[in-house]
């Protein structure tokens, strides 16, 4: 049985953690298969959006500490997509149950996070003599207020879905069991937009995140110019004039 399931649904690639009996905890094999799946997504021109989810009662309860205790410590494992992975296509995470430790760090790599009412998100590493090592100390303060990020990182206490939505950590909260459906709805909305424009907008937002405003504006201008002369730009203009839905080609 594969520990990461991959299924293509039109332009959307569904990537699902598949260790439900282990609460989808992360080990070297999971991280390796995650990296392969997302590398395929990044390189395949027919795929425009990825949806990441977890099978079973939890999205991901963190690192598999039983594997760590047997000698394959987390610092020796591949980083999945938490390090040295760059992709300008949108990624949507569908979250439920526990989203803890490495699971939170994995969810932070997504551009959109949809949770259901059962979702609890936390970074408990400091409770066990560790610290966060797969991006939480860097990504979390860029997404939520700094004091809230510090509270989560330094106490290790989880927060519920309602608070996560209030602070912007979750884009949407839905009834229990509905996160994956809402994530696919969002993915289809993204697929209906011009794919090259979506990718350049994502790139501009991330590259400009910590740039001074004048530098960020230059980044935006340079990336927007890359769309000039594309078939999709011409199609968008024609579709607007003809009052019809555009048919995108991603070129």
Give the single-character DSSP code of 22: G
Under 8 Å between Cβ of 199 and 89: yes
Burial environment of residue 208 by CB neighbours within 10 A (0 to 12, 13 to 18, 19 or more): middle
Taking the C-alpha atoms of residue 238 and residue 235, their distance in angstroms, rounded to an integer, is 5
Average pLDDT over residues 151-180: 97
In the three-class reduction of DSSP (H, G, I as helix; E, B as strand; rest coil), residue 8 is classed as strand
pLDDT, tens digit, 9 for 90 and up, residues 199-218: 999 999 999 999 999 999 99
Kindly indicate the confidence band of residue 64, based on its pLDDT and cuts at 50, 70 and 90.
Answer: confident
Q: Per the structure block, which two tokens stand in for 20? A: 């439900």
> Model pTM?
0.92
In the set 43, 125, 188, 203, the catalytic residue is: 125
In the set 105, 165, 181, 188, the catalytic residue is: 105
Domain regions of the chain by residue span: 4-191, 195-242
86 is catalytic: no
Provide the CATH topology of domain 4-191. Answer: 2-enoyl-CoA Hydratase; Chain A, domain 1 (3.90.226)
Q: Please, how many CA atoms are within 13 Å of residue 71, restricted to the half-sphere of its CB?
A: 0
125 is catalytic: yes
Closest of 200, 137, 147, 140 to residue 168, by C-alpha: 140
pLDDT of residue 67: 66
The answer to whether the Cα torsion of 95, 100, 106, 109 is positive or negative is: positive
């Amino acid at each position: 049985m594969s520990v990461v399931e991959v299924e293509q649904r039109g332009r959307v690639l569904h990537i699902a953690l598949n260790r439900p009996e282990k609460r989808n905890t992360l080990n070297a094999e999971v991280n390796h298969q995650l990296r392969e799946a997302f590398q395929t997504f990044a390189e395949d021109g027919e795929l425009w959006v990825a949806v990441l989810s977890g099978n079973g009662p939890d999205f991901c309860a963190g690192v598999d500490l039983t594997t760590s205790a047997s000698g394959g410590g987390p610092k020796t494992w591949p980083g999945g997509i938490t390090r040295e992975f760059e992709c300008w296509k949108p990624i949507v995470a569908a979250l439920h149950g526990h989203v803890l430790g490495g699971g939170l760090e994995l969810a932070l790599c997504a551009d959109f996070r949809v949770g259901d009412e059962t979702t609890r998100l936390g970074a408990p590493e400091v409770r066990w003599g560790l610290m966060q090592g797969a991006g939480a100390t860097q990504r979390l303060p860029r997404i939520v207020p700094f004091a809230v990020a510090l509270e989560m990182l330094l106490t290790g206490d989880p927060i519920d879905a309602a608070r996560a939505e209030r602070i912007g950590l979750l884009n949407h909260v839905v009834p229990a069991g509905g996160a994956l459906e809402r994530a696919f709805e969002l993915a289809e909305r993204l697929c209906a937009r011009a794919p090259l424009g979506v990718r350049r907008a994502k790139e501009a937002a991330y590259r400009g995140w910590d740039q001074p405003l004048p530098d960020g504006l230059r980044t935006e201008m340079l990336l927007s110019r890359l769309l000039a002369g594309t078939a999709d730009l011409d199609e968008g203009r024609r579709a607007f004039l003809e009052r019809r839905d555009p048919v995108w080609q991603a070129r």
